[in-house]
Structure 1
Amino acid sequence: MPQISIVIPVMNEAENIVPLYHELKKFTPEDFEIIFINDGSTDDTILEIKQLSYADNRVKCISFSRNFGHQNALMAGIDYADGKYIITMDGDLQHPPAFLPQILEKLNNGFDIVLTRRRKTENQGFSKKIFTKLFYKLINFLSDVPIEENVSDFRGFSSKVMHTIRKFEERDLFLRGIFSWVGYRRTVIPFDAPSRLHGKSKYNFSTMVRLGLKGTTSFSFKPLRISLLIGSIVSFFSFILLTITIINYFQGKTVPGWASLMTVVTFMGGIQLLVVGLMGEYVASLFRESKKRPLYIIDEMINVD
């Protein structure tokens, strides 16, 4: 059993594989394993990993048959990790390997989970900063499980936590929420993220929205309760408006008004579509869970028992 398992999902990160490997070797003890999860790369990522694995059998790889997503790739690494401590991180060097000794020190001092929080990201655009902040504000407002703001998937945890995470069978994985939900003794280390060494980020606006919806529907019924509240409020005012309309009719005070009528109709229609769409997200989540499809399909494994 290695002391440390480092789990790294990668997609089209061919230029970053070798520099990342050399950086990791600087800051980890000799007894480690690196598990790359090739999440449907279309470049030479798998070739770069294979070359490293031939030279160092501590470098391992799980290659998917197609892209299954970052969260599923992380889960695959957790499923196959053997270390006493497990560290998950990205493959673009924005999660600095120089912080590994601090993470390991915290784990050795009795913490079960060591999270890292980004203070800032070098060369991050203003719009991305604003959107990220709004993302965490919204998900913490909607979710029943608090999610630490700017806490990334760069974390360390004990094998005890690993075995707990493996018990989860849900299809819509939101690991940041799961790590918050399981409890255990934890601490947070702040860090400044450098800019990417090569390539571009895979987390665009649509990916963040999907992740937010997944996190919300997985850990909270609050959106449904908010929909019920909005529906109740709108129904209450609609009833009052109906009462006033009937009274005005019998008093002969009716005034034809197409604009006001259309405003009410479109407002009510918008509210109904919003609630139906929200319910659809929960139904879709239940549908995916009921099919129990595998989280990932492995095409090839290298140095993995």
Structure 2
Amino acid sequence: MNEILYLVIPCYNEQEVLPETSKRLKAKLGGMIAAGTVSPQSRVLFVDDGSRDTTWQLISELHERDPLFSGLKLSHNQGHQNALVAGLTVAKDLCDIAISMDADLQDDVDAVDRFVAEYQAGSDIVYGVRSSRKKDTLFKRTTAVGYYRFLRWMGVEIVQNHADYRLMSRRALEALSQYGEVNLFLRGIVPLIGFRTSVVAYERSERFAGESKYPLKKMLSFAVDGITSFSVKPIRLITTLGVLIFAVSVLCLLWLLVTKLFGHTVEGWTTLMGSVWALGGIQLLCLGILGEYIGKIYKEVKHRPRFVIDQLLND
């Protein structure tokens, strides 16, 4: 019996790209159903993350015209990662395998066949990995490579050049549902699940239409979440920094005592002020890092729901 496949697509203000996205996904999924690769019960599940435009109206119209399309509407904007988890949570009880991808058509739709082939070969999780970053700007390419290296140095298990284009089997989705943290960083959580994994390389395209939902400010926030959600190394670095500063302070004290004994004392206003500003800056930085972790603890202990479902359209 062919597996039921759900394509889970988080959407936030995607009215410009949704008509083309639905057209391509229908052609792909319909072709796979006709070829007998997946079950006729397979669906495209659009997750509306509290959009302010006509995204949900378009999803509703697609569902009315064709049961191949399903819709999930969240009651409030919860962010990309929460919307994705909401879609995967709903799909978990309806499908055998789920593939998550973005709505902007940057992820190669034609790679879906290879994802399913890897699953049929025995993989529970299949990662979509960019084959190159030639289309990125020099700044984005450099920062992306540096970020992945920095995460691994911090001890975070992550797949290089992988975003959220991935396949997960039902048992992998069941395992994912056991991770209840509010501070979501799926690129770090999914590798922790284990099971057999494989990689599918694909060429990432330009966004088909509309504007990116991840400007620089959100990208930086997402990067910080990735580090602080999976590594306590920054806190340990603060301890190391404190030890180093203490050691340097002792050396400076010895140097001052030696110069005083030999009568070579010199007024050191510049050195003094520089030291004060440097230590003050370091202290504020350390407080900021500690505050980031405390803020995450604050969010976790409240146990607020990650999402609330408003409507579900599914036959």
Normalised by the length of structure 2, the TM-score is 0.91
Match of 2:240 among 201, 213, 229: 229
Q: Quick check: 1:95 aligned with 2:95? A: no
Q: 1:221-260 residue pairs with structure 2 within 5 A?
A: 221-260=232-271
Q: Percent identity?
A: 33
Is the Cα–Cα contact under 8 Å of residues 20 and 93 in structure 1 kept in the other structure? yes
Structure 2 unmatched runs, 5+: 34-39
Q: 2:183 and 2:167 mapped to 1: Cα distance?
A: 22
Q: CA deviation at 1:134?
A: 2.2
Q: 1:85 and 1:297 mapped to 2: Cα distance?
A: 23
Q: 1:127 and 1:244 mapped to 2: Cα distance?
A: 44
Residue matched to 1:10:
11
Task: Report the secondary structure of 1:146's partner residue.
Answer: coil
Residue matched to 1:24:
25
In structure 2, relative to structure 1, the CA distance for the partners of 1:145 and 1:123 (3 Å cut) is: closer
Q: 1:43-122 residue pairs with structure 2 within 5 A?
A: 43-81=53-91, 82-120=94-132
Residue matched to 1:135:
147
Q: 2:187 and 2:261 mapped to 1: Cα distance?
A: 60
Any idea what the Cα deviations from partners look like across 1:120-151, whole Å, max 9, x if unmatched?
Answer: 35753332222222222222222x23212210
Task: Report the secondary structure of 2:73's partner residue.
Answer: strand
Q: 1:123 and 1:240 mapped to 2: Cα distance?
A: 50
One-letter amino acid matched to 1:38: D
Structure 1 unmatched runs, 5+: none
Is the Cα–Cα contact under 8 Å of residues 156 and 227 in structure 2 kept in the other structure? no
Residue matched to 1:261:
272
Residue matched to 1:153:
164
Any idea what the Cα deviations from partners look like across 1:91-147, whole Å, max 9, x if unmatched?
Answer: 0111121111000000011011100111235753332222222222222222x2321
Any idea what the Cα deviations from partners look like across 1:29-86, whole Å, max 9, x if unmatched?
Answer: 3321111111121111111111100012232212122221110011101110021011
Residue matched to 2:36:
none
Is the Cα–Cα contact under 8 Å of residues 49 and 77 in structure 2 kept in the other structure? yes
In structure 2, relative to structure 1, the CA distance for the partners of 1:41 and 1:158 (3 Å cut) is: same
Q: 1:143-182 residue pairs with structure 2 within 5 A?
A: 144-182=155-193
Task: Report the secondary structure of 1:60's partner residue.
Answer: strand
Q: CA deviation at 1:2?
A: 6.5
One-letter amino acid matched to 2:79: G
Q: 1:264 and 1:174 mapped to 2: Cα distance?
A: 38
Q: Give the aligned CA root-mean-square deviation in angstroms.
A: 1.7
Residue matched to 1:191:
202
Q: How many residues align?
A: 303
Q: CA deviation at 1:249?
A: 3.0
Is the Cα–Cα contact under 8 Å of residues 113 and 155 in structure 1 kept in the other structure? yes
Q: 1:61 and 1:216 mapped to 2: Cα distance?
A: 32
Normalised by the length of structure 1, the TM-score is 0.94
